[in-house]
Structure 1
Amino acid sequence: MSTQQPLAGRVALVAGATRGAGRATAVELGRAGATVYATGRTTRDHVSEVGRASETIEETAELVTAAGGTGIAVAVDHLVPEQVAGLVDRIDREQGRLDVLVNDIWGGDHLVGWDKRLWQHDLADGLRALRLGVETHLVTSHHALPLLVREPGGLVVEVTDGTKEYNGSRYRDPMFYDLAKVAPQRIAFGLNQELKEFGGTAVCVTPGWLRSEAMLDTHFRVTEENWRDGARTNPDFLISETPVYLARGLARLAADPEVRRFGGRCLSSADLAGEYGVTDVDGSTPDAWRFLEDRAEGREVDPADYR
């Protein structure tokens, strides 16, 4: 194992690697030397209900390989247990091990009625959002953990939106979104308890305001090159971050021999940056959650002071 590629020889499964933080995480794990199975529902031959044909799991796998790892794309609907079981059987057959599981499955934004009370929200949409954001994580861990615990040192990472402190003190309305984003924190806490006797660790991580592909081109109609123009729509966009920021910290976390000290906790991208000295692509270290907390407490805040 080299210092340049501390994850050489390790095998990772990034569930939900089509775009956003999942894609960036797969790439950074590959840059660290890992073999990465990148899963999702959008392929070059099929577009998921999210409706974005521009990002595919094949492209993610190619980016992993280009970064120095080995990327393997597998089309999987993580709500279908048989597909997840088949995926894990394939990893076992081809690699004989699994060292890192990243549950970044979501794809439910289009189902969320952001201005709706529980009784006003479309029930079918809300329940499907919960299935996508919670059930998928449980199904995947159920099938993947027997392989991961075969050897000590395995790591499970639950990806969510919001720190434990922020989500614990504020309602992330609407109800279905709130539950979908609080649940991964509890899953990580519980899995960490279950993994201890096998020498494994589970943590939860969250980005700040993520400049995902959809956030850029759909919500703000900007590109990564001119993303600051998005502040004309919402000044708070100046505290946003690229998916690479969280992914860099997560890759360092996965390579940390003392990772168990974070077991059961929820770490933000800024927490990881502070711990491991990583930065976003522009060299900054944005801390969106501290920005939001300070503003909620009535302090005068400027996004530039939190980068």
Structure 2
Amino acid sequence: MNMVAVVTGGSRGAGKGIAIALGQSGATVYVTGRSQMPDDSPYGGTVAETAALVSEAGGKGIPICIDHSNDEAVAELFARVGRDHGRLDVLVNNAVKVGMTLPGGFWEKPLEAADLITIGLRSHFVASFYAAPLLIANGRGLIVNTGHYGAVAYYHSPVYGAQKAGADKMAADMAKELRPHNVAAVSIWMGGLDTERVRAYIASLPPEARPTAKRESPQFTGRVIAALYASGDLMHYSGRALIGAELGAQFGVTDIDGSTPLSLRYRLGGPPELHASLR
């Protein structure tokens, strides 16, 4: 697939997996993140490492070290994509400022928890703002906000829920304005992911308290995004919040081990069911 994509927040976690999966489809992927050295984060990972894995997977990975609170740097990122390719096919808004999960009420936690609204909601808007002209120039495009059931169920904190719900609404409203240009915008809800951060947290628990349920690989969402873009049916999905496991089942997408991730709709809630809305 001759796709040009930008994946924000790709040093590790979901963004890393999504970028690698898009690379497996043959895409050129601009991977953004702040981590230049492995010890920049306790969980390791750098943009250069992810970009190399994208290339190893069959695509072309291009590392871009960037702080998504810097609007000028974001503008230059998309200006570079424009100079290099003159277009953009897919933007994946995944960069978020994730803090520690601490016990207690929101008023008992550091106020910097609200930074998730800046790097996680505002940054989604800024990236989309600069990406939109390139997507429109392409005549067909897709914006994906990585979402979660926290948009409708309590998860971590009020600010986490606000960020996820806001990203869903932002995608819905962007979709309305982009529809005449054949550019789609969606949120894709991920399940429990097998990431570096999650593995470290589970390892910190007493053995008897460690969850044993199977988790989605970070690559699964990237596989779903690639299938969605290749489907030729983008406008049927545009404006929606979509559960990745349900969308994957519709497209016949499996996880990297061949398993089929399960929707958590009936445990955590969800948007309108996909099959009902597409009748």
Q: Could you tell me the TM-score, scaled by structure 1's length?
A: 0.81
How many Å separate the matches in 1 of 2:78 and 2:95? 16
| Alignment match of 1:233 (pick from 188, 209, 212) | 209
Deviations 1:46-86 (A, max 9, x none): 82xxx236201101111111111111001111110010011
Match of 1:12 in 2: 5
Counterpart for residue 122 of structure 1: 110
| 1:132-178 deviation line (CA, Å, top 9, x unaligned) | 1111111111112122111221100010222xxx733x333521111
Q: Which residue of 1 aligns with 2:155?
A: 172
Find 2:46's aligned residue among 36, 56, 75: 56
- CA deviation after TM superposition for structure 1 residue 234, in Å: 4.0
The 5-angstrom pairing of residues 284-295 of structure 1 reads 284-290=259-265, 292-293=267-268
Q: Secondary structure at the match of 1:204?
A: strand
Whether 2:240 is the aligned partner of 1:269: answer no
Q: How far does residue 265 in structure 1 lie from its aligned partner after superposition?
A: 1.1
Unaligned runs of 5+ in 1: 1-6, 223-228, 295-307
Please state whether the residue corresponding to 1:149 is helix, strand or coil: helix
Aligned pair count reads 269
Q: Which residue of 2 aligns with 1:131?
A: 118
Q: From 196, 207, 210, give the equivalent of 1:213.
A: 196
CA contact (8 A) 1:192 1:264 kept: yes
Conserved? CA contact 1:210–1:243, under 8 Å = yes
| Higher RCO by CA contacts (8 Å cutoff, separation 6 or greater) | 2
Quick one: which of 158, 167, 179 aligns to 1:184? 167
Do residues 21 (structure 1) and 11 (structure 2) align? no
**For 1:96-175, what aligned pairs fall within 5 Å after superposition?**
96-110=86-100, 113=102, 115-123=103-111, 125-162=112-149, 167-168=151-152, 170-175=153-158
Q: Distance in 2 between matches of 1:99 and 1:288?
A: 27
How many percent of aligned residue pairs carry the same amino acid? 34
Q: Could you tell me how far 1:181 is from its partner in structure 2?
A: 1.6
Alpha-carbon RMSD: 2.2
Contact 2:74 2:126 in 1 (8 A): yes
- Residue matched to 1:297: none
- Do the aligned partners of 1:79 and 1:139 also contact (CA within 8 Å) in 2? no
Cα distance between partner residues in 2 of 1:197 and 1:17? 30
Which amino acid in 1 is paired with 2:202?
Answer: F
TM-score normalised to the size of structure 2? 0.89
- For 2:73, the equivalent position in structure 1 comes to 83
Aligned partner letter, 1:30: G
Q: Which runs of 4+ in 1 moved over 6 A?
A: none
CA distance in 1, matches of 2:263, 2:80: 39
Is contact 2:243-2:263 (8 Å) kept? no
- Residue 293 of structure 1 deviates from its aligned partner by 4.2
> Measured at CA, do residues 150 and 211 of structure 1 come closer, stay the same or move farther in structure 2, by a change above 3 Å?
same
CA distance in 2, matches of 1:221, 1:231: 8
Alignment-mate amino acid for residue 98 of structure 2: G
Q: Which position in structure 2 is the counterpart of 1:301?
A: none
Which residue in the other structure is 1:303 paired with?
A: none
- Tell me if the contact between 1:273 and 1:279 (Cα under 8 Å) persists in the aligned partners: yes
Letter in structure 2 aligned against 1:160:
G
CA deviations on 1:241-268 (whole Å, 9 max, x unpaired) are: 2112222112111222112111111122
